[in-house]
Chain A
Amino acid sequence: MNDWPGLDDFLRTDPQDVGCDQAMEMLHVYVELVAAGAPAEQRYPGIAAHLRACGPCGEDFEGLLAAVRGEPD
Protein backbone atom coordinates (compact mmCIF):
# COMPACT_ATOMS: atom_id res chain seq x y z
CA MET A 1 0.00 0.00 0.00
CA ASN A 2 1.43 3.34 -0.96
CA ASP A 3 -1.23 5.98 -1.47
CA TRP A 4 1.15 8.84 -0.75
CA PRO A 5 4.33 8.15 -2.72
CA GLY A 6 5.81 11.64 -2.32
CA LEU A 7 5.61 11.58 1.46
CA ASP A 8 6.52 7.90 1.65
CA ASP A 9 9.65 8.39 -0.46
CA PHE A 10 10.74 11.31 1.68
CA LEU A 11 10.24 9.50 4.98
CA ARG A 12 11.70 6.18 3.82
CA THR A 13 15.27 5.75 5.01
CA ASP A 14 17.87 3.42 3.56
CA PRO A 15 20.01 1.60 6.13
CA GLN A 16 22.86 1.57 3.60
CA ASP A 17 22.97 5.39 3.60
CA VAL A 18 26.50 6.33 4.68
CA GLY A 19 25.74 9.94 5.60
CA CYS A 20 27.22 13.18 4.36
CA ASP A 21 30.76 12.89 5.68
CA GLN A 22 31.57 9.54 4.09
CA ALA A 23 29.80 10.38 0.85
CA MET A 24 31.62 13.68 0.48
CA GLU A 25 34.95 12.11 1.42
CA MET A 26 34.67 9.82 -1.61
CA LEU A 27 32.70 12.11 -3.91
CA HIS A 28 35.60 12.71 -6.34
CA VAL A 29 36.10 8.97 -6.75
CA TYR A 30 32.39 8.29 -7.17
CA VAL A 31 32.01 11.09 -9.71
CA GLU A 32 34.85 9.80 -11.86
CA LEU A 33 33.26 6.36 -11.91
CA VAL A 34 29.93 7.83 -12.98
CA ALA A 35 31.60 10.01 -15.61
CA ALA A 36 33.41 6.95 -16.97
CA GLY A 37 30.18 4.97 -17.18
CA ALA A 38 31.36 2.52 -14.51
CA PRO A 39 28.84 0.90 -12.11
CA ALA A 40 29.37 3.41 -9.31
CA GLU A 41 26.10 2.52 -7.55
CA GLN A 42 27.09 -1.13 -7.34
CA ARG A 43 30.56 -0.35 -6.10
CA TYR A 44 29.44 2.23 -3.57
CA PRO A 45 25.79 1.47 -2.72
CA GLY A 46 25.96 3.44 0.51
CA ILE A 47 27.05 6.57 -1.30
CA ALA A 48 24.40 6.06 -3.97
CA ALA A 49 21.74 5.69 -1.26
CA HIS A 50 22.93 8.87 0.38
CA LEU A 51 23.01 10.93 -2.81
CA ARG A 52 19.41 9.89 -3.54
CA ALA A 53 18.23 11.08 -0.13
CA CYS A 54 20.36 14.11 0.70
CA GLY A 55 19.52 17.19 -1.36
CA PRO A 56 22.69 19.19 -0.59
CA CYS A 57 25.05 16.28 -1.23
CA GLY A 58 23.11 15.37 -4.36
CA GLU A 59 23.57 18.95 -5.52
CA ASP A 60 27.32 18.77 -4.88
CA PHE A 61 27.45 15.51 -6.82
CA GLU A 62 25.68 17.09 -9.80
CA GLY A 63 28.02 20.07 -9.67
CA LEU A 64 31.21 18.02 -9.56
CA LEU A 65 29.95 15.71 -12.29
CA ALA A 66 29.24 18.73 -14.49
CA ALA A 67 32.72 20.07 -13.74
CA VAL A 68 34.41 16.79 -14.61
CA ARG A 69 32.43 16.41 -17.80
CA GLY A 70 33.32 19.98 -18.78
CA GLU A 71 37.02 19.60 -18.13
CA PRO A 72 39.31 18.16 -20.82
CA ASP A 73 41.18 14.95 -20.02
Chain B
Amino acid sequence: MAMMPVNRRADETPVTAAGLDPESAWWLGVLAETGPRQEAALARLHELLVRIARAEARRRGPRVRITGPELDDLACQAAADALMAIIGKLGQFRGESRFTTWACKFAIFEVSAKIGRHFWRHPAVPLDAEDWNRLPDRFGFEPARESEWRDLLAALRRAVDDELTARQREVFVAIVLNGVPLDTLVIKLGSNRNAIYKVLFDARRKLRAALVAGGYLGHDTAGR
Protein backbone atom coordinates (compact mmCIF):
# COMPACT_ATOMS: atom_id res chain seq x y z
CA MET B 1 0.00 0.00 0.00
CA ALA B 2 1.69 3.21 -1.14
CA MET B 3 1.13 5.93 1.38
CA MET B 4 1.82 9.62 1.11
CA PRO B 5 3.89 11.05 3.91
CA VAL B 6 1.73 12.91 6.36
CA ASN B 7 4.07 14.02 9.11
CA ARG B 8 6.49 16.29 7.37
CA ARG B 9 5.89 19.48 9.30
CA ALA B 10 6.55 18.28 12.79
CA ASP B 11 9.60 20.52 13.09
CA GLU B 12 7.95 23.66 11.78
CA THR B 13 5.79 24.51 14.73
CA PRO B 14 6.94 22.78 17.89
CA VAL B 15 4.26 22.80 20.54
CA THR B 16 5.17 22.38 24.16
CA ALA B 17 2.53 19.87 25.14
CA ALA B 18 4.13 17.73 27.82
CA GLY B 19 4.76 14.11 26.85
CA LEU B 20 3.78 14.42 23.21
CA ASP B 21 6.05 13.52 20.34
CA PRO B 22 6.78 16.56 18.14
CA GLU B 23 4.55 15.42 15.31
CA SER B 24 1.55 14.84 17.58
CA ALA B 25 2.19 18.14 19.31
CA TRP B 26 2.21 19.86 15.94
CA TRP B 27 -1.14 18.34 15.00
CA LEU B 28 -2.74 19.31 18.31
CA GLY B 29 -1.34 22.81 18.17
CA VAL B 30 -2.32 23.61 14.63
CA LEU B 31 -5.77 22.06 14.88
CA ALA B 32 -6.48 24.24 17.91
CA GLU B 33 -5.74 27.38 15.90
CA THR B 34 -8.11 29.29 13.66
CA GLY B 35 -7.32 30.50 10.18
CA PRO B 36 -5.50 29.21 7.14
CA ARG B 37 -2.98 27.03 8.99
CA GLN B 38 -5.77 25.16 10.72
CA GLU B 39 -7.65 24.84 7.45
CA ALA B 40 -4.58 23.41 5.76
CA ALA B 41 -4.08 20.96 8.61
CA LEU B 42 -7.71 19.89 8.45
CA ALA B 43 -7.36 19.31 4.72
CA ARG B 44 -4.27 17.21 5.30
CA LEU B 45 -5.93 15.22 8.06
CA HIS B 46 -8.92 14.62 5.82
CA GLU B 47 -6.59 13.44 3.08
CA LEU B 48 -5.01 10.97 5.48
CA LEU B 49 -8.41 9.71 6.66
CA VAL B 50 -9.64 9.21 3.10
CA ARG B 51 -6.54 7.20 2.32
CA ILE B 52 -6.92 5.04 5.42
CA ALA B 53 -10.65 4.55 4.94
CA ARG B 54 -10.18 3.57 1.30
CA ALA B 55 -7.47 1.07 2.20
CA GLU B 56 -9.65 -0.38 4.96
CA ALA B 57 -12.71 -0.58 2.71
CA ARG B 58 -10.64 -2.36 0.07
CA ARG B 59 -9.24 -4.73 2.71
CA ARG B 60 -12.75 -5.68 3.82
CA GLY B 61 -14.41 -5.33 0.42
CA PRO B 62 -14.08 -8.89 -0.87
CA ARG B 63 -15.60 -10.35 2.29
CA VAL B 64 -18.45 -7.89 2.51
CA ARG B 65 -19.23 -8.00 -1.20
CA ILE B 66 -19.18 -4.25 -1.74
CA THR B 67 -17.19 -3.04 -4.73
CA GLY B 68 -16.50 -0.14 -7.07
CA PRO B 69 -18.04 3.29 -6.59
CA GLU B 70 -20.22 2.10 -3.74
CA LEU B 71 -17.15 1.01 -1.78
CA ASP B 72 -15.35 4.26 -2.53
CA ASP B 73 -18.40 6.28 -1.53
CA LEU B 74 -18.55 4.35 1.74
CA ALA B 75 -14.88 5.13 2.37
CA CYS B 76 -15.29 8.85 1.63
CA GLN B 77 -18.29 9.10 3.94
CA ALA B 78 -16.37 7.24 6.63
CA ALA B 79 -13.46 9.68 6.31
CA ALA B 80 -15.74 12.72 6.53
CA ASP B 81 -17.50 11.36 9.62
CA ALA B 82 -14.18 10.38 11.18
CA LEU B 83 -12.90 13.94 10.72
CA MET B 84 -15.96 15.30 12.50
CA ALA B 85 -15.50 12.81 15.34
CA ILE B 86 -11.83 13.71 15.71
CA ILE B 87 -12.53 17.43 15.83
CA GLY B 88 -15.17 16.84 18.49
CA LYS B 89 -12.85 14.67 20.57
CA LEU B 90 -9.52 16.48 20.25
CA GLY B 91 -9.58 17.21 23.97
CA GLN B 92 -9.71 13.48 24.67
CA PHE B 93 -6.37 12.75 22.97
CA ARG B 94 -4.00 11.96 25.83
CA GLY B 95 -0.81 11.41 23.88
CA GLU B 96 -0.66 7.67 24.60
CA SER B 97 0.03 7.04 20.93
CA ARG B 98 0.94 9.10 17.91
CA PHE B 99 -1.85 11.51 17.03
CA THR B 100 -2.21 9.99 13.57
CA THR B 101 -2.72 6.49 15.02
CA TRP B 102 -5.44 7.82 17.31
CA ALA B 103 -7.02 9.68 14.37
CA CYS B 104 -6.87 6.69 12.03
CA LYS B 105 -8.77 4.67 14.62
CA PHE B 106 -11.83 6.80 13.93
CA ALA B 107 -11.60 6.12 10.20
CA ILE B 108 -11.47 2.38 10.88
CA PHE B 109 -14.46 2.61 13.24
CA GLU B 110 -16.47 4.56 10.68
CA VAL B 111 -15.74 2.02 7.95
CA SER B 112 -16.92 -0.72 10.34
CA ALA B 113 -20.11 1.13 11.17
CA LYS B 114 -20.90 1.91 7.55
CA ILE B 115 -20.41 -1.68 6.46
CA GLY B 116 -22.80 -2.70 9.26
CA ARG B 117 -25.31 -0.18 7.96
CA HIS B 118 -24.85 -1.50 4.42
CA PHE B 119 -25.85 -4.99 5.56
CA TRP B 120 -28.80 -3.56 7.42
CA ARG B 121 -30.06 -1.99 4.19
CA HIS B 122 -29.15 -5.02 2.04
CA PRO B 123 -29.41 -8.11 4.25
CA ALA B 124 -27.90 -11.21 2.65
CA VAL B 125 -29.81 -13.44 5.07
CA PRO B 126 -33.08 -13.10 6.98
CA LEU B 127 -32.29 -11.42 10.27
CA ASP B 128 -34.61 -13.49 12.45
CA ALA B 129 -34.99 -16.96 10.90
CA GLU B 130 -33.24 -19.92 12.59
CA ASP B 131 -30.79 -21.78 10.38
CA TRP B 132 -29.35 -24.61 12.46
CA ASN B 133 -27.98 -26.26 9.33
CA ARG B 134 -25.10 -23.80 9.12
CA LEU B 135 -23.60 -24.87 12.45
CA PRO B 136 -21.84 -28.10 11.35
CA ASP B 137 -19.83 -26.15 8.77
CA ARG B 138 -19.22 -23.21 11.05
CA PHE B 139 -17.83 -25.37 13.83
CA GLY B 140 -16.02 -27.87 11.64
CA PHE B 141 -18.12 -30.93 12.42
CA GLU B 142 -17.07 -33.88 10.30
CA PRO B 143 -19.72 -35.68 8.19
CA ALA B 144 -18.38 -39.03 9.42
CA ARG B 145 -19.45 -38.13 12.96
CA GLU B 146 -22.91 -36.89 12.06
CA SER B 147 -24.75 -39.14 14.49
CA GLU B 148 -22.64 -37.73 17.35
CA TRP B 149 -22.95 -34.09 16.43
CA ARG B 150 -26.66 -34.41 15.84
CA ASP B 151 -26.97 -35.30 19.53
CA LEU B 152 -24.71 -32.38 20.40
CA LEU B 153 -26.74 -29.94 18.31
CA ALA B 154 -29.98 -31.21 19.84
CA ALA B 155 -28.51 -30.53 23.28
CA LEU B 156 -27.35 -27.10 22.18
CA ARG B 157 -30.78 -26.32 20.82
CA ARG B 158 -32.41 -27.37 24.10
CA ALA B 159 -29.98 -25.15 25.97
CA VAL B 160 -30.76 -22.21 23.67
CA ASP B 161 -34.46 -22.70 24.34
CA ASP B 162 -34.22 -23.43 28.07
CA GLU B 163 -31.23 -21.50 29.39
CA LEU B 164 -31.13 -18.23 27.49
CA THR B 165 -33.21 -15.13 28.05
CA ALA B 166 -35.30 -13.89 25.14
CA ARG B 167 -32.67 -11.23 24.38
CA GLN B 168 -29.80 -13.71 24.54
CA ARG B 169 -31.70 -16.08 22.25
CA GLU B 170 -32.41 -13.29 19.78
CA VAL B 171 -28.74 -12.30 19.62
CA PHE B 172 -27.50 -15.89 19.45
CA VAL B 173 -29.90 -16.78 16.64
CA ALA B 174 -29.05 -13.71 14.58
CA ILE B 175 -25.27 -13.88 14.93
CA VAL B 176 -24.55 -17.58 15.27
CA LEU B 177 -27.35 -19.27 13.34
CA ASN B 178 -27.95 -16.66 10.68
CA GLY B 179 -24.53 -15.11 10.34
CA VAL B 180 -25.78 -11.55 10.79
CA PRO B 181 -22.80 -9.26 11.38
CA LEU B 182 -22.75 -8.00 14.97
CA ASP B 183 -22.56 -4.38 13.81
CA THR B 184 -25.69 -4.92 11.71
CA LEU B 185 -27.55 -6.41 14.65
CA VAL B 186 -26.54 -3.37 16.67
CA ILE B 187 -28.47 -1.19 14.22
CA LYS B 188 -31.48 -3.50 14.13
CA LEU B 189 -31.75 -3.56 17.91
CA GLY B 190 -30.88 0.13 18.39
CA SER B 191 -28.05 -0.89 20.69
CA ASN B 192 -24.27 -0.68 20.68
CA ARG B 193 -21.47 -3.13 20.01
CA ASN B 194 -20.44 -3.49 23.63
CA ALA B 195 -23.97 -4.27 24.83
CA ILE B 196 -24.62 -6.86 22.12
CA TYR B 197 -21.22 -8.46 22.70
CA LYS B 198 -22.01 -8.71 26.41
CA VAL B 199 -25.35 -10.39 25.68
CA LEU B 200 -23.61 -12.90 23.43
CA PHE B 201 -20.79 -13.36 25.96
CA ASP B 202 -23.31 -14.31 28.66
CA ALA B 203 -25.16 -16.59 26.23
CA ARG B 204 -21.93 -18.38 25.31
CA ARG B 205 -21.08 -18.88 28.98
CA LYS B 206 -24.52 -20.32 29.77
CA LEU B 207 -24.57 -22.61 26.75
CA ARG B 208 -21.13 -23.97 27.48
CA ALA B 209 -22.09 -24.64 31.10
CA ALA B 210 -25.17 -26.54 29.92
CA LEU B 211 -23.17 -28.64 27.46
CA VAL B 212 -20.52 -29.37 30.08
CA ALA B 213 -23.22 -30.39 32.56
CA GLY B 214 -24.68 -32.71 29.93
CA GLY B 215 -21.29 -34.29 29.25
CA TYR B 216 -21.02 -32.94 25.70
CA LEU B 217 -18.02 -30.68 26.39
CA GLY B 218 -15.16 -31.00 28.85
CA HIS B 219 -14.67 -28.85 31.92
CA ASP B 220 -12.34 -25.88 31.75
CA THR B 221 -8.74 -26.93 31.79
CA ALA B 222 -5.67 -24.82 32.48
CA GLY B 223 -3.50 -23.92 29.57
CA ARG B 224 -6.22 -23.80 26.96
Contacts and interface: CB of A to CB of B under 8 A. Distances in A.
- Tell whether A pairs with B: yes
Interface of A: 1-8, 10-13, 17, 19-21, 24, 26-29, 31-32, 53-57, 59-60, 62-64, 66-68, 70-73
Contacts, number: 126
Interface string B137-177: 01111000000110010001000000000000000000010
Interface stretch (B30-38, B39-47, B102-110, B120-128): B102-110
B117 interface: no
Interface residues of B, number: 52
Given A32-B98, A67-B52, A12 B204 contact: yes
B182 A66 contact: no
Contacts of A62: 59
By secondary structure, the A interface counts as helix
Contacts of A24: 105, 109, 193
Contacts of A17: 201
Contact of B108 (A5, A11, A54, A64): A64
Given A7-B139, A19-B197, A60 B182 contact: no
Contacts of B182: 54-56
Nearest to A71: B3
Contacts of B152: 4, 7
A6 B139 contact: yes
A32 B138 CA distance: 32
A54 B224 contact: no
Contacts of A72: 3, 5-7
Interface of B: 1, 3, 5-7, 52, 55-56, 59-60, 96-98, 100-102, 104-105, 107-109, 111-112, 135, 138-141, 148-149, 152, 156, 176, 181-183, 192-194, 197-198, 201, 204-205, 207-208, 211, 216-218, 220, 224
Contacts of B104: 28, 64, 67-68, 71
Contacts of B100: 71
Contact of A73 (B7, B138, B156, B224): B7
A29 to B, nearest CB: 5
A12 B56 CA distance: 30
Contacts of A57: 193, 197
